[in-house]
Structure 1
Amino acid sequence: MKATITPAIPGGDTLRAFASAAAAGVLVVDATGTVLLCNAVAQTLLDRTSEDLVGAVIGFPLTPSGISEIDVVGGAGGVRTVDMQVTATTWENERAYVITLTDAGLRKRAVRRLAVSEERFRAVFEQSPIGLAVLDGEARFARVNNALCRMFGYTRSELEQRTLTDIVGSERLPADEKLTRELSVGHGTGYDLERSFVTKEGETRCARFITSVMSDSEDEHAQVIASVQDVTERQENDARMIRLALHDELTGLANRTLAMDRLQLAQARADRNGAFVGLLFLDLDGFKTVNDSLGHAVGDALLKETARRLRSVLRPSDTAARIGGDEFVVCCEDLGADAVEAQAIAIRVVERIASALAEPIELEGATERTTASIGIALVRGLQYSPDMVLRNADQAMYRAKQQGRARFELFDEALQARALSRSDLADELALALERDELVVHYQPIAELRGGRIMGAEALVRWEHPVRGLLHPADFLDVAEESQLIVSIGDWVLNRACRDLAGWRRSIRPDVFVTVNASARQLGNNELAASIDRALFEAVLDADALEIELTETMLIEATATTLSELAGLRDLGVQVGLDDFGTGYASLTYLRSLPLDFVKVDGSFVAGLSENVDDMAIVTAIVDLAHALGLHVIAEGVESGVQQQALEEIGCRFAQGWHLGRPRTSRDFTRLLASAAAA
């Protein structure tokens, strides 16, 4: 309908305050339709001035009702569609009406925008490859998409008749449902949980539920939208990787990391009542002969059978582990507080092991018998560190080897004397720092494709005046124990930065050097300051230096050490994880720590040419690192076959004797210069 406006006589202004505050157009008219009052919005909508409107008679229907849509003719003759609502009121004690007007075009455009938005949401919701659901306040499925139906195995109608409880069925679900209810009434913004669920076929799987609130101003209960991703395979892979990191893949026994952890826990428990813990160190006699004469497959079979026999004779409280090659350890708890009785119990365990190993073994159609040389180290509680206990047991085993094999030896005072010689070595090492007997050698890090040298790892050596050139394995553990490692680490860092600065200025501006940091360096909260000082003194950019950390350091990291790591990143230094794959916290820390690169442990690289499992592990490590934006350096590349396998996997950088042996600073300078001139 079209409404017209007829001139009339002016009236009063009682509702003026209401009209001026309203966002909509407002007309106040008397029972005859005469306009008594109008606001500015009404003037705009009707294209009339106040003088035109007030006193005019309008042709609007004056029956109080809901919102209706009408066309009005403006002052210039144009027609505008408005939404009108009439409400009864009084004006100077006489019956009157308040007419509110809004632009219907605005409403229609808003409706169209809402319809487009809803269509887009529907398309995204339905076409998403991730399972999506809208949950009401009682955790019922109000709406689901096809991906969620496929994941859970139900049809849409079946799923929309169920609640989260029907699908998840977790003992933690009451708390989860409470979270959903709280979200629906405005408490919180969402949650991120992983829960198991049961498909229609009865299969138990795991999903990640990420929720957020869909608010609706007209409804006191908001709906909750949940994205659901099946993470079963990821969890299985994580569990598999963790197991690989904690256990020896060949035998299924604990590996060195787990064994040392169990030993430390056993010592802590024993320390409460002064009890003894025993560590047995086993080395199979003649294993190399078996391996060389009958092949690695037979050698592996012998190791697996040895592990099986160990398990069969140990007490429930004992832990057996393979720590490398043909070396095993057994941690014996519950030996009591009496030294003689503890020794007797440990010897009885050794005798059972020796008896089990002596039984004939059928290998490749031949009957073999094996023996072991076993060292026993007893420790009362926390008397010695786990590493010291392991070294003591190792020394006792070595003496058993020297005494004719197939026997056991106890760590005693004579062996203790040998341990004391380590103290003398520590004194010599302190003098070596003063006398400048330490040197840095550099092992090239090259691009696998093309072999171009990109950088080097800085490796410390000791030019001992009597014993000759000593490698890190000969003295760094003593340095760790004596706390000289911090001074040595600072010395290596400064020397490497000076050498690197010279190479970048005169030969290659893009070459880099990696330097190993010790746990003590990271733990004294001065590593970042030491690096900053070394970079400043060498006039070297921070991005030229890469710092390598071990997994053990990261596992034991405190909030303070994590802050120290953040300080390294703030400097611009690259931070990496050394020997990746050998520790049990790799996955957790790869995701949570500020890392730039990882080094694949050489033990995995060594098996690339003949071990399918090692190939799978290295491939998984490289893919995982790349997915997290990290670059990968493979260690221990000793052959062209390994280099080719790493290239095919997608690993870009590597080091090892096949690519270049460690060499002095002068020789590495010549190598860089020669490569640059080629």
Structure 2
Amino acid sequence: MSTPFSSELSQLLENYQLQAAELSQDIKAVLSELDQKLLAHNSSPTQKSSEAFDELKHAHGAALVHFDKHVIDISDSARKLLLGGERPPTEQSSAPLTLNDLGLSQLDDACKQAQYMHGHHELHIDTRRHDGKPLWLKLELEQAADKSWFLLITDETELKLTQARLKYLSTHDELTGLANKNRFIQRSENALSRRSRDRFYRFAILIINFQPKAEEAERHSLHLNDHFLVEIGKRLHRCLRPQDMAAHLSTDDFAILVDDCATEENLQSYIAELEEALDKPMELDGEIAACSPTIGGVLVDSQYQTAEQILQDADSALIFAKKQNHRFYLFDLQLLNENKHISDVETRLRIALKQEHLELHYQPIVNLTSWRTVHLEALLRWNMSKTHTILPAEFINHANKSSVIHSLGQWVVDTACKQLATWQKQVSPLIGMSINISSRQFSSKQLIKDLESSLTAHPLQPDSLKLELAEISLLQEDNKHIEQLNEIRKLNCELLIDDFGCGFSSMNHLHQLPLSTVKIDRSLIAALNSLEDSNAIVKAIIHLAHNLGLSVIAEGVETKGQLESLLAMGCDMAQGFLFSEAKNSENTAELLHKDWQEHVQKKEDDELDRSPPTILTSWLKRRAS
């Protein structure tokens, strides 16, 4: 985790390294000056050494010690560093001060080594001052002409502490104090290695996701609350056995390596105790809050080769547990087969991208006031053969569970932008295009880079490129999502929320996001005029959206009765088979000029003999006259 605090530590370390380099130059200068002063004196060698040392310790303020069998002299800086400025009992008496008094007993052996190094030697030691505080020191020894020793001391304590802190941050999550993902993967790899050597050894990996109850999340903003994550970290740490490891993987995902877990029964018992500890309410902001963990697990056997494979399967179990509304799900054969299918789809999609077997079709979105095509929705098609085309519903969910979704998304964005740029030049600069963005794409930093690249290569009119985000992608309102939405808007792309009405969003929540349009889910449109609740819900969505300054698109309009109801409710735009199915780029060009009023009128006229007049018939005829 990169945080301002860890960045500051990195800067401190860099500064210390620069200071160490500068100090090394100063040391050489001090020793060179010491040699010159010794040569300049005409007195005895011992007197030369003492006088030179005395002059140096006052001139440079360095931590210096002059010693032989005992300490001859010590600078104020060295005294303060080693003794805290105090005089030891031996120095207060008539007894001479020794290296042991200074905590430098290691120098006896160092001096012997220095004699074989032409009188020069350096070493690094850790010791303690008289007050018990730790010291890391760099010591440089130089032998004088009288065989006494000069010692230059560099305090490396802060440097060592900073290095230790940085090392800690490289393996731990700074917020919770738990292991980070890299450290957890390393430990899992070690467990796998042991498993390969010991066929009786088994371990388990658990991924735990915390989703606070809706009312709790709204009251405390738990997904943004560091106190919540810290408390979860503490509880996990208390639950661990000495041989287990817990880690903080992402915002609300944690993991546990359960060591020496022989059977599924052992794991179930462990999880029961874990759930009991995690279910207890916690106090946040002076109030009691509760959260409910969902757990996906893997009991590791011989089929796994890497820790990443285990985490992927544990995550699959977690996703399945959420879908089935289970508290815990253990990865099994059903999920194994699903993962194999995901892997197969990923491989075949990569081949399809390389061999250009993918194509975009375009469905018009009609303005219900002007009855013209205002923009089109780009829809992906996978051409398995000349006669067999696969729709996104058959593969996009599997693609979204693998990394191929990023390559696929990049291709869709670039292809759609290129086609839109052509139509804006050849047909009308007012034509727009909407592209579906998956939740995994939206959460990735790569999306902004893909958009920037495509918009640079294919310049478009402002706000003509529109990104459709599934309602579920926007349910979690956190800083990262808000930042991503704002970055998209800076690129002059409009934001639409797709499938609105099938999730749990509120209009109040949408009002806080930089959206321009709401697309009503096709399931609500399909139920118009057959279920009273659907009419009321659709009408309420349109009314509330307009009050918030948002446009409304009805998706999946297939009958004249549905269109009639939408017109009465004041819906802005519509798309569906009543107007046109999605077509390839060549056949879409003719739809850009089409008068959809005449199109609907013709359909109505074709059925007049088979059905009684409708409000829509009368309304269209009045418009035509």
Tell me the TM-score normalized by structure 1: 0.44
Bigger radius of gyration: 1
Scaled by the length of structure 2, the TM-score of the pair is 0.47
Which is strand-richer, 1 or 2? Answer: 1
Please identify which structure carries the higher helix content: 2
